[in-house]
Chains A and B, each alone.
Chain A
Amino acid sequence: MSEDRRHEIQELLEKAGGLVPGAARQVAQQTGIPEADVYGVGSFYHLLARPDAKIRVCTGLSCRMAGADDVLRAAELNDLPVEGCTCLAGCDVAPAVLRDRRVLPSVTVEDVHEAKGEWENLRSAANADDEVWFGAVGPERDDPDTLVLNLMGDPDWSGTAFRRAVEIGADAVVEAIETAGLQGRGGAGFPAHIKWNGTRNQAETTRYVVLNADEGEPGTFKDREVMLRRPDRVLEGLAIAAHAIGATEVYLYLRGEFEVPWTVIEDGIERFAAAGVFGDIKFHLHAGHGAYICGEETALLEALEGKRGMPRLKPPFPVEKGLWGKPTLIHNVETIACVPAIVDRGGDWFKALGRDEAGTKLYCISGDVGRPGTYELPLGVTLDELVEAAGGYVGELKAFSPGGASSGFLPASMREVPLAFRSLGGVGSMLGSAGVVVLNSDADLRDAVMTQLRFFEAESCGQCAPCRIGTRYLAHALSKNIANDTTSGAALQHVADAAWQMNEGSICGLGQAAPLPLTLALEHFPEEFEA
Chain B
Amino acid sequence: MSDKSTIKLNGREYDFAPGETVLDVAARHDIYIPTLCHDPRLDAVGACRTCLVEIDGWRRLAPACATQLEPGMEIASENERIDRHRQTLLSLYMTDHPTDPAAAEPGAPNELHAMASHYEAPMDWGYMESLRDARPDDRNPYVLFEPDLCILCARCTRYCDEIEGVNAITLAGRASETTISTVDKLSLMDTSCELCGGCIDVCPTGAMGKKMPLVRGDKPERELDKVRTTCNFCGVGCQLDLNVDRDARDGQGRIVKVTSPPVGTTTNDGNLCVKGRFAYDFVHHEDRITTPLIRGEDGELHPASWDEALQAAASGLLAVKDKHGKDSLGFVSSSRCTMEENFLVQKMSRAVFGTNNVHQCAAT
Partner of A462, one of B48, B93, B175: B175
User: Could you give, for residues 163-178 of chain B, a 1 whenever the CB lies within 8 Å of some chain A CB and a 0 otherwise?
Assistant: 0000111111111111
Question: Quick check: A461 and B167 within 8 Å, CB to CB?
Answer: no
Contact with B along A388-427 (1 / 0, CB 8 A): 0000000000000000000000000000000000000000
Q: Which residue on B lies nearest to A489, using beta carbons?
A: B124
Q: Report if B333 contacts A (CB, 8 A).
A: no
| B11 at the A interface (CB under 8 A) | no
Complex interface: chain B residues within 8 A of A38 (CB)? 183
Closest to B122 in A: A494
Note all chain B residues with C-beta closer than 8 A to A476.
Answer: 126, 128
Which stretch (A121-129, A163-171, A254-262, A496-504) binds chain B? A496-504
Distance from B159 Cβ to chain A, minimum over Cβ atoms (Å): 13
Name the interface residues of B64-97: CB closer than 8 Å to any CB of A.
66, 81, 84-85, 88-89, 91-93, 95-96
Residue-wise, chain B 57-68 has the 8 Å CB interface mask toward A (1 for contact) of: 000110100100
CB-CB under 8 A for A291 and B61, given A25-B183, A468-B152, A505-B49? no
Give the shortest distance, in Å, between B80 (CB) and chain A (any CB).
Answer: 12
Please give the distance in Å from B271's CB to the nearest CB on chain A.
19
Whether A49 is near chain B, meaning CB under 8 Å from some CB there, is yes
What are the interface flags for A43-78 relative to B under an 8 Å C-beta threshold, 1 for contact and 0 otherwise?
A: 110100100000000000000000000000000000
Q: A472 and B176: CB pair below 8 A? A: yes
* B-side contacts of A505, CB under 8 Å: 49, 52, 61, 85, 88-89
Q: Is the CB of B184 within 8 A of A34?
A: no
Asked if residues A469 and B93 are in contact (CB atoms below 8 Å), the reply is: yes
- Contact residues in B for A380 (Cβ distance below 8 Å): none
Whether A368 is near chain B, meaning CB under 8 Å from some CB there, is no
A457–B49 alpha-carbon span in the complex (Å): 19
Tell which of B93, B175, B192 touches A459, judged by Cβ atoms closer than 8 Å.
Answer: B175
A432 to B128, CA, bound (A): 31
Q: Is the CB of B128 within 8 A of A501?
A: no
Complex CA distance for A461 and B176, rounded to whole angstroms: 9
CB pair A39–B52 under 8 Å, yes or no, is: no
List, in ascending order, chain A residues with CB within 8 A of B122's CB. Answer: 494
The answer, among A465, A466, A470, A498, for a CB contact under 8 Å with B151, is A465
Per-residue CB proximity of B93-117 to A under 8 Å, as 1/0?
1011000000000000000000000
Given known A-B contacts A25-B184, A35-B183, A468 and B176 have beta carbons under 8 A apart: yes
The answer for the CA separation of A136 and B282 in the assembled complex, in Å, is 76
Most buried by B among A22, A473, A488, A500: A473
B181 close to A (CB within 8 Å): yes
Contact B89 A501 (CB under 8 A): yes
In the assembly, what is the distance between CA of A270 and CA of B172, in Å?
Answer: 38
Q: What A residues does B128 contact at CB under 8 A?
A: 469, 472-473, 476
8 Å CB interface, B142-176 against A: 151-152, 157, 161, 167-176
B47 within 8 A of A: yes
Is there an interface contact between B176 and A504, defined as CB atoms closer than 8 Å?
no
Chain B hits for A507, CB < 8 A:
46-47, 49
Chain A residues with CB under 8 A of B174:
43-44, 46, 49, 291, 459-462
Q: Number of contact residues on A: which range applies?
A: 35 or more
For residue B191, CB closer than 8 A to chain A, the reply is yes
**Cross-chain contact B61 with A43 (CB below 8 angstroms):** no
In the complex, whether B125 has a CB less than 8 A from a CB of chain A is yes
The answer on a CB contact under 8 Å between A34 and B173 is: no
Whether the Cβ atoms of B93 and A460 lie closer than 8 Å is no
**B92 touching A473 by the CB < 8 A rule?**
yes
Q: Nearest chain-A residue to B192 (Cβ)?
A: A34
Q: How many of chain B's residues have a CB under 8 angstroms from any CB in A?
A: 47
Q: Are B175 and A457 in contact, CB atoms less than 8 angstroms apart?
A: yes
Q: Which residue of B lies closest to A512 (CB)?
A: B60
Whether B182 is near chain A, meaning CB under 8 Å from some CB there, is yes
Name the CB-closest residue of A to B112. Answer: A465
A43 x B172 contact (CB < 8 A): yes
A504 touches B125 (CB 8 A): no
With A37-B170, A457-B176 given, is the CB distance from A466 to B63 under 8 Å? Answer: no
A-chain residues with CB within 8 Å of residue B192 when the two chains form the complex: 34-36
Nearest A-chain residue to B36, judged by Cβ: A465
Residues of chain A within 8 A (CB-CB) of B169 are: 36
In the assembled complex, A24 has its CB within 8 A of some CB on chain B: yes
Q: A21 contacts the other chain (Cβ, under 8 Å)?
A: yes
Q: Which of A39, A464, A466, A489 contacts B172 (CB 8 A)?
A: A39
CB–CB B92/A40 < 8 A? no
- Kindly state whether residue A158 has any CB partner on chain B within 8 Å: no
Q: Tell me which residues from 22 to 59 in chain B have a Cβ below 8 Å from any Cβ of chain A.
A: 45-49, 52
Report Cα–Cα, A463/B152, bound state, in Å: 7
Q: Nearest-CB distance from B250 to chain A (Å)?
A: 45
CB < 8 Å neighbour of A49 from B63, B173, B191: B173
Nearest-Cβ distance from residue B51 to partner chain A, whole angstroms: 11
Q: Which of A40, A459, A460 has the most chain B CB within a 10 Å cutoff? A: A40
Q: Are A469 and B175 in contact (CB under 8 A)?
A: no
Please name all residues of chain A whose beta carbon is closer than 8 Å to the beta carbon of B167 when the two chains form the complex. 34-37
Chain B residues, Cβ within 8 Å of A488:
124, 126
Instruction: Report yes or no: B85 in contact with A494, Cβ–Cβ below 8 A.
Output: no
**Nearest Cβ in chain B — how far from A212, in angstroms?**
20
State the Cβ distance, A369 to closest chain B Cβ, in Å: 32
In the complex the two chains form, is A465's CB within 8 Å of B48's CB?
yes
A307 to chain B minimum Cβ distance, whole angstroms, is 10
Contact between A463 and B181, CB atoms less than 8 A apart:
no
Contact A469:B96 (CB < 8 A) given known A24-B183, A313-B63, A488-B126: yes
Q: Tell yes or no: A243 within 8 A of B by CB.
A: no
Task: Give the docked Cα–Cα distance between A469 and B151 (Å).
Answer: 10
Does A458 count as interface, using CB distance less than 8 angstroms? Answer: yes
Cα-based distance from A506 to B63 in the complex (angstroms): 11
A308 contacts the other chain (CB 8 A): yes
Which chain B residue shows the least CB distance to A46?
B174
| A450 interfacial by beta-carbon distance below 8 Å | no
Q: Assess A468 versus B95: contact at CB under 8 Å? Given A24-B183, A36-B183, A43-B173.
A: no
A452: chain B residues at CB < 8 Å are: none
A172 to chain B, nearest CB (A): 33
> Chain A contacts of B125 at CB under 8 A?
473, 494, 498
Report the minimal beta-carbon distance from A450 to chain B, rounded to whole angstroms: 16
For chain A, residues 301 to 328, give those with C-beta under 8 angstroms from any C-beta of chain B: 308, 313
Contact B92–A504 (Cβ < 8 Å): no
Name the distance in Å between A383's Cβ and chain B's nearest Cβ.
29
Q: Tell me the bound Cα distance from A498 to B121 in angstroms.
A: 13
Report the minimal beta-carbon distance from B276 to chain A, rounded to whole angstroms.
24
Query: Interface code B205-221, partner A: CB below 8 Å = 1, 0 otherwise?
Result: 00000000000000000
Residues of A within 8 A of B176 (CB): 457, 460, 462, 468-469, 471-472
User: How far, in whole Å, are A21 and B177 apart by their CA atoms in the complex?
Assistant: 19
Q: How far does the alpha carbon of A138 sit from the alpha carbon of B221 in the complex, in Å? A: 68
CA separation between A494 and B84, bound complex, in Å?
13
Closest A-B pairs by Cβ, 6 of them: A40-B170, A462-B178, A34-B167, A501-B88, A35-B183, A36-B170
Query: What are 5 A-B pairs at a CB distance below 8 A?
Result: A38-B183, A39-B170, A462-B173, A469-B95, A476-B128
